[in-house]
Chain A
Amino acid sequence: MLKLNKRQFLIGAAGATAAATLPWAANAAGRKIMVLASTVDIPNFDPHVATGYAPQWLFRNTYDPLVRVVNNPPVPAPGLAKSWTRSEDGLVYTFELDGNARFQDGTPVTAKDVEYSFARLLRLAKGPAWMVSGVLDQNSVKATGEMTVTMTLKKPFAPLLSVLPWMFVVNSKLVEANKGTDDGQAYLLANMAGSGAFKMGRVKPGDLYELVRVEDDWHKGGNLDGAIWKIVREASTARLMLQRGEVHLALDMFAEDMDAIKDMPHVVRIMEPDYRTFTIKMNTAKGPLADKNLRKAVSYAFNYKGMLDAAGPAQLMKGPLPTGIFGFDPDLKGYEQDMAKAKEFLAQSQYKDGGITLSMHHAAGYENQRRWCLIMLESLKALNINLDIRAMTWPDTVAMARSPDTMVDFYSIFQSPNYADPDNTTFAAYHSSRNGQWQNPVYKNPEVDKLIEDARAEVDMAKRAELYKKFQAVVVEDAPDIFGILELRKFAMRDNVKDYVFSPVAANTMEIWPLSIA
């Protein structure tokens, strides 16, 4: 049965219940199960539909893409494809599939499944489909052999290998068998059809999701028998669970938490710069903030310093692009708090004397966002504008972003880039084809759209940088967002987790199957 460790032995003398408080220590002798603490729920299991970081983490561990992304700086690595070649003109990619790859029902992954998956992704045009919009269509990906896939691009697209890790392959036979009238969306909402290292165990929405290692898993690496995505709403609870070894990895940590765990034994802090941006979106399509002068007034009135102070180690953004990324314009003139200018723009708006009430939402449990709401409230008070603040669950926020009518005046988001290219942020957050999505619910400017499309297809780097420079100037002038801060990525991990390598793209959705617990 159970072997007592030294601590249990010592405490055991103090009373029976005391010894029972360290059951997680039994883990060392038993199954290797990694527990991750997050504030976010996983509302949808369909890899071609769902977005957001919790679902993406699920997909990276239960499905497989053709190409994965690993390391820092990030590089492509084999996934379902063991190798690939690119034609000289950059328009045709050929992938050779790994013959060992098996779906969770035991059937091999074939080129047909890849073709089916890309066709479904682009047919539904949801989830990560936007990343290749204009580059691939439903017929661009073809099985040209049992294990060979050929991808024909409509125009050159430099970051192709960087976007493939987010496009997952489903078991075509399984999805076809449960197709229904909506292309299997109702089925995949709550069922899995992947080839990943883990299958779904216990599902308790709002509480936990358990992943169980597939028998005869074809992936090589890691010793985990399972993993648990535990929803822990309070960062302080996550921190204490980490301290006690109940959790191996806490994903949503704030600056205060990092300070508190600085000297905690057996806990490793991971604080790395990445391109995650924190911005406050404004409803540019409906309501008072459709008035550009009011948006500018708010942009000048906002207390950026307070936002930075409340966030902990971070830096302020100047404009829409993360500082330092390719194309970022260091000479860009952004906004800073300037009440004189704020009042000047307010006077030019339709709301000269304020007297209105705007609404602002923040993600429930996301403490920093709640603080920024309060800072916004204080800033707007100087313009005689009231603010109505509400907490919202993530699925609520996504639902709200679907139309300008349901969207609030302000809401706070953070975006983790999936590929280290300005195209990611510009397209996801400012291209009008993304309207209705949480990253860009309403903002629409044809000039901006054109700049984004041109920059995306431009192969000359100097010209491309010039296009992005122009893009930044136009967007700053339009003031669709409060450009907030770049925070350090903050995780905390138990020191018995081995083989973890930080990667700055989508760091919070890491693959856990290559990891081990000592």
Chain B
Amino acid sequence: MTQPSIPVAIPKRTQSARLENWSRAFYRFRQSWLSVIGLAIVVALIVIAILAPWIVPHPEHVAGGTNTAARFQPPSAIAWFGTNALGQDMFSLVLVGSQVSLFSGLAVVFIAIAVGTVVGAIAGYFGGWIDEILMRITDLLLTIPSLILAMAVAAALGTGVWNMIIAISITWWPAYARLVRGEVIVKKEEQFVVAAHALGANWARILGKHILPNIVSPIVIKASLDMGFAILTVASLGFVGIGVKPPTPEWGTLLSGARSYMPDYWWTAVAPGIAIFLAVLAFNLLGDGLRDVLDPKARR
């Protein structure tokens, strides 16, 4: 006997609803060619940052090596972006410079998300005086001009990648705290949370299991848009002279040093300048695209 097959059964679900949303989102994303370009540049940047030490023609220059016999060579087939005051290959420096920029950008955004989410979730979930205190501190930090505060803190801590990351993160988490708090307050009232509460789940579980997973998309959108500005802020600190330790190549620092040679040796400034521009642009495009797909309401 054969088991009778179910004739018109409910179509078998091959994917969960969430996954289905994602694939639909990806379709929408592909519709916007600007976002695809952004994604392509971002992927290229990440690949370059990872591979840079092995693919650059002059890794020794990146480590601080000099070649004073070949100073200020204009861009050519040998040195694509020319050489600087010490005869170092700008192409190698700029390529490896992507490491610091991407890494610190990522680190800033991650720290900001981590701190901001914790603060925002607690404030939004508990409300009352906890909310009041946490949000007043957040508001306070939001009124302070972030670049000046970051400069002051970075200068006080001394040069170094981590000091710079910490300094920028201090000024960045409040924005996430506000975002997460708002989302948590909305989600708190929804049926599934109320249900979980009724079932006796404790607050950590409700926040971690039920609320936070449902507010990932606004955070992701903001994070991808912020990556670009984090990279820009890192470069800005480098430009005013509070950045990484030499000889670590960093785009803002390279640009700042190149100022002395403008306009005669323009290539020393143009290469890092365009690198910053491209990286920021790519993350902005990607962020715009992500916003369109994850938050269709905001689509314009």
Contacts and interface: CB of A to CB of B under 8 A. Distances in A.
A and B touch in the complex (CB under 8 A): yes
Interface stretch (A340-348, A368-376, A462-470, A502-510): A368-376
Interface string B230-253: 000000000001000111000000
A389 B259 contact: no
Interface string A357-383: 000000010010011011101100100
B127 to A, nearest CB: 48
A367 B264 contact: no
B68 A378 contact: no
A236 B65 CA distance: 25
Contacts of B262: 236
Nearest to A311: B68
A310 interface: yes
A374 B86 contact: yes
Nearest to B160: A388
A390 B86 CA distance: 18
Interface in B254-283: 257, 259-265
Nearest to A377: B64
A41 to B, nearest CB: 15
B264 A256 contact: yes
Contact of B64 (A236, A310, A370, A374): A374
B261 A236 contact: yes
A390 B159 contact: yes
Contact of A309 (B68, B257, B261, B265): B68
Contacts of A374: 64, 66, 86, 246-247
Contact of B69 (A234, A309, A370): A309
B26 to A, nearest CB: 47
Contact of A377 (B72, B247, B259, B265): B247
A309 B71 contact: yes
B204 interface: no
Interface residues of B, number: 23
Contact of A388 (B68, B86, B245, B259): B245
Nearest to A365: B260
Contacts of A173: none
Nearest to B60: A378
A391 interface: yes
A290 to B, nearest CB: 24
Interface string A85-116: 00000000000000000000000000000000
B86 A371 contact: yes
Given A374-B64, A378-B65, A378-B66, A367 B260 contact: yes
B68 A391 contact: no
Main secondary structure of the interface of B (DSSP, over half): loop
Is chain A's binding surface mostly helix, strand, loop or mixed?
helix
B259 A310 contact: no
Interface in A234-270: 234-237, 254, 256, 259-260
A37 to B, nearest CB: 13
A378 B68 CA distance: 12
Contacts of B44: none
A391 B65 CA distance: 19
Interface string B192-227: 000000000000000000000000000000000000
A390 B68 CA distance: 21
Interface in B82-141: 85-86
Contacts of A134: none
A146 to B, nearest CB: 54
B148 interface: no
A367 B85 contact: yes
B47 interface: no
Interface in B9-66: 63-66
A180 interface: no
List the 7 closest pairs (A to B, CB-CB), nearest first: A309-B68, A306-B68, A389-B246, A377-B64, A260-B264, A236-B262, A236-B260
Given A236-B261, A371-B85, A389-B247, 11 more contacts: A234-B259, A236-B259, A259-B264, A306-B86, A309-B68, A310-B85, A370-B257, A373-B246, A378-B65, A389-B246, A390-B159
Interface of B: 63-66, 68-69, 71-72, 85-86, 159, 241, 245-247, 257, 259-265
13 contacts: A234-B259, A254-B260, A260-B264, A305-B68, A306-B68, A310-B68, A364-B241, A371-B85, A371-B86, A377-B247, A378-B64, A390-B159, A391-B241
